[in-house]
Every structure is written in structure tokens, then in C-alpha cells.
Amino acid sequence: MDTCKAYLPELVQSRIDDLVNVQGLEGELAIHLKELQDSLAALEALAREDASEAARGLVEDMERLIDRVRREYVSLAYRQGLVDGAGFRRMVAGQGVVPEI
């Protein structure tokens, strides 16, 4: 159990680092976030021009982007949880104790 206690802070810090650094990646998530920022800027411009139909369409696009970003974050967290859980189980199993997961 001491080994578990020794590795747990490193595991937690690693997950925090992953979440902090994910926006720096050139992956799909970063692309969605950039699209969302661009859409917000365009929406602000349309609001000033009184182009309500175009603004409505842009809001719908933004809602879809927000949903995609949300799904990507959930998927990322789920996959990382599986990896962490499997690693933790191997570590504990190496000590002769197998937790119920």
C-alpha cells in the first residue's frame, strides 16, 4: 500500500498536467475551441450590423461546436480514466492486493 501512496500524487499531478496542456495541443479539441472563438467574434460583428438571421445561424453553429468540445473532453477523461485505472490495478496487483474495479 505504501507504493500506492507513493505513486498516487504523481498520477494526480500527471492528470492535472494533461488537462492544463490539452488546449496547447494541435488536436481536434484545439481546432474546435478556435472555431468557437472565431464564431463568437463573428456573432459580435453581426449583432452590431443587425443581421438577425445570420446571427441565428451562427448561434446554432456555436451550439454544435460547444457540444463537440464537451464530447471531446468527456471522451478524453474517460479514456484517461481507463488508462489510469488499469495502471493502478497493475500496480496494486503487483503487491498482492487486487481491488474491485
**If you count them, how many residues does the chain have?**
101
Tell whether 60 is covered by a domain: yes
Cα 71 to Cα 44: distance, rounded to the nearest angstrom: 26
Tell whether 65 is covered by a domain: yes
Tell whether 36 is covered by a domain: yes
Tell whether 46 is covered by a domain: yes
How much is the pLDDT for 7? 59
Tell whether 7 is covered by a domain: no
Cα 101 to Cα 80: distance, rounded to the nearest angstrom: 15
Q: Structural domain of residue 34, as residue ranges? A: 25-93
Tell whether 44 is covered by a domain: yes
Q: pLDDT band for position 76 (50/70/90)? A: confident
Tell whether 9 is covered by a domain: no
8 Å CB contact between 32 and 65: yes
The per-residue pLDDT for range 19-74, each reduced to its tens digit, is 666 554 557 777 777 787 788 777 777 767 667 777 777 778 888 888 888 888 88
- Cα distance between the two ends of the chain: 17
Tell whether 20 is covered by a domain: no
Structurally, the chain folds into a number of domains equal to 1
Alpha-carbon dihedral sign for residues 1, 87, 82, 10: positive
